Chains A and B, each alone.
Chain A
Amino acid sequence: MEKILEIDDLHVHFTTYGGTVQAVRGVSLYLNKGETLAIVGESGSGKSVTSNSIMQLIPSPPGKIVKGSIRFKGRDLVRTSKKEMRAIRGVDISMIFQDPMTALNPTLTVGDQLTEGLKQHTSISTDSAKQKAIDMLRLVGITDPESRFKQYPHQFSGGMRQRIVIAMALICEPDLLIADEPTTALDVTIQAQIMELFSEIQEKTGVSIILVTHDLGVVARVADRVAVMYGGKIVETGDKDAIFYNPQHPYTVGLLHSVPRLDMQEAVLQPIDGTPPDLFAPPQGCPFTARCAHAMQVCANVYPPATNLSASHQVECWLQDARANRAASLMKR
């Protein structure tokens, strides 16, 4: 399958008065054409920073990509000039942000905001831009798009606004859509509708999607592959089924256990005890060591190398390392 995006060893640092935050510490991932990759993890794990890096939207200063490459259709976005990057944003790669209530400019009409990107990047006439925007609004399920076109964001509900944001992101027919927690600010019924919309749009347009979320329910619904992030690193990545039915990293297991289930017998959820690592001074070894029930001496000192469990399932954990089995069998003797 053709890889549309390849991130290799990405490091992103933020310089603050309190020191340097190492938000992303060596992330490598890829995205195939037409598939949906979900990046999951708790707050501060670096998933949003990773997705913003692809768009080169890290506020700089304080943020800086210190190492690594992001190859999009063979082109390294880290080394692309600002001007060239502007021609890529919105056209080849689009982004959807978390809160639809604030993602639209309150003083401009929805139609204006929909068409301005189109007008910026193509020499389209005002009339055909309008027609395209109206078609787009219809595609995302806005009724009566002709009159809605002239309205302002405050005249729409939250779910409607997120649909408009999605229409805005798709209007230039991008190859890659990055959705940064697109459903977090919406209520549950609307969440389901929006996720359904994503699937529909992917079917119609063949767009590749990176979905950043901490909601595993959303992941289960739409993702093809999942990357689990923790402490600025991808600790486990694999097909959706492998992650959900055969999780190998203790953090992934903990994450799955902390989701409420209908078939759950116990009355309480199992949270992951402890707090995420301090990324001002990230631990030398595995960042999950302090919270891991299976932590060993080696975990605190050396970061585990990636272990291939199958062609698509990878985990970075000493428990899965080939040497761990050997050690275990030695101990048994």
Chain B
Amino acid sequence: MAIYLIRRFLIMIATIFVIATLTFILMHSIPGNPFTTQDRSTSEAVQENLNAHYHLDEPMLIQYGIWLKSLMTFDFGPSIKQPTETVNDLLSRGFPISAELGMWTITIALLSGITLGVLAALKHNGIIDYIAMTLAVLGISVPNFILATLLIQQLAVNLQLLPAATWSSPMHMIMPIIALATGPTAIIARLTRSSMLEVLTQDYIKTARAKGLSPAKIVIKHALRNALMPVVTILGTLVAAILTGTFVIERIFAIPGMGKYFVESINNRDYPVIMGTTVFYSAFLIFMLFLVDVVYSILDPRIKLHKKGGS
């Protein structure tokens, strides 16, 4: 197991290195630099000084080296557009909020999606099944930004039940989480339903029934665990989807999370922030995928993360 973890860790490092390099190349292949955009009032001399300060006048390879060094030391330096703050400040301020939004979303999506899927499968072709699957199709088809604006219109403006934006109390969190979790919930519900239907026809379910087990025990102990495999498989992709979803949702609800800095930094061509947030997001995603693999091996004993041991 230790060897597996070390190997896996090294692969993760390599992946992040590749992503960092690609980001660097893409970022610099866009013409211009952070100072060429709107503000034309700066004189030539000031421009040169600024370029020198941020090492933008150095050859690409040197800049790449500086970038790698900052990556190694986890110090991405100050933001260019907001020089009073370092990238690390932005990350440590934005990430907890984004993480809170993301974790609530995935938890609620999993709980409600699996419950809906199981109920639909157990009442196959019944009313619950039809209602759940109609909701699921709606949930998949309606983009989260449409849902978010509709929610604001109805719950905040018309009914005045919930605050329209920002992120300061549990009441503020309800709408963004609903908007973000609906799509994943629908996907999970559909997947759980179809795999549950398949599992329920398996011989071992019949064996369990022949043992005289109660229906609840058969569903939870024997069926659900096997039916969740496909759900766990797509969990990695789903986390990525929720992550991108947070960019949009944070923007709509004016939530001061990481997404805001990420999007703004690209518009502003704020090199240190682009690099910092990209690497941070990729590291986070890669770690999530790793967690998914671990969960997978816990759920299904036939899958082994490592070659030796176990049997």
Q: Which residues from chain A sit less than 8 Å from chain B, CB to CB?
A: 55, 57, 85-91, 94-95, 97-99, 102-109, 116-117, 120-121, 151-152, 154-155, 165, 168-169
Contact = CB atoms under 8 A, between A and B. Distances in A.
B274 to A, nearest CB: 44
Given A152-B301, A152-B302, A105 B204 contact: yes
A105 B208 contact: yes
A151 B226 CA distance: 17
A191 B110 CA distance: 45
Given A57-B209, A105-B222, A108-B225, 20 more contacts: A57-B206, A86-B212, A87-B212, A88-B212, A89-B212, A90-B212, A91-B212, A97-B203, A97-B206, A102-B204, A105-B208, A106-B204, A106-B226, A107-B301, A116-B211, A116-B221, A117-B212, A155-B311, A168-B207, A168-B211
A87 B202 CA distance: 22
Interface in B217-234: 217, 221-222, 225-226
A249 to B, nearest CB: 32
B199 to A, nearest CB: 10
B254 interface: no
A179 B214 CA distance: 22
Contacts of A85: 212
Contacts, number: 79
29 contacts: A57-B206, A57-B209, A57-B210, A86-B213, A89-B209, A89-B212, A90-B213, A91-B212, A95-B207, A97-B210, A98-B203, A99-B203, A104-B204, A104-B207, A105-B208, A106-B301, A107-B226, A107-B301, A108-B222, A108-B225, A109-B301, A116-B211, A117-B213, A120-B211, A120-B212, A121-B212, A151-B311, A152-B301, A154-B302
A172 to B, nearest CB: 8
For the complex of A and B, 10 pairs with smallest distance between CB atoms: A89-B212, A90-B212, A117-B211, A102-B203, A90-B211, A105-B204, A95-B210, A152-B301, A86-B212, A103-B203
B299 interface: yes
Interface of B: 202-204, 206-214, 217, 221-222, 225-226, 299-302, 311
A120 B300 CA distance: 24
A152 B301 CA distance: 7
A105 B226 contact: yes
Contacts of B311: 151, 155
A117 B214 CA distance: 10
Given A105-B204, A155-B311, A94 B210 contact: yes
A85 B226 CA distance: 26
A103 B207 contact: yes
Contacts of B208: 105
Q: Is the interface of A mostly helix, strand, loop or mixed?
A: mixed
Contacts of A155: 311
A169 B301 CA distance: 24
A169 B213 CA distance: 13
B192 to A, nearest CB: 16
A106 B302 CA distance: 8
A95 B301 CA distance: 26
Contact of A90 (B206, B210, B221): B210
Contacts of A169: 210
Nearest to B229: A107
Contacts of A105: 204, 207-208, 222, 226
Nearest to B213: A120
Contacts of A152: 301-302
Contact of A102 (B202, B210, B302): B202
A217 B301 CA distance: 38
Nearest to A178: B210
Nearest to B214: A86
Nearest to B210: A95
Contacts of B206: 57, 97, 103
Which of B202, B208, B210, B311 lies at the interface centre, i.e. has the most chain A CB atoms within 10 A of its CB?
Answer: B210
Nearest to B223: A105
Contact of B300 (A103, A107, A116): A107
A95 B204 CA distance: 12
A173 to B, nearest CB: 14
A29 B294 CA distance: 53
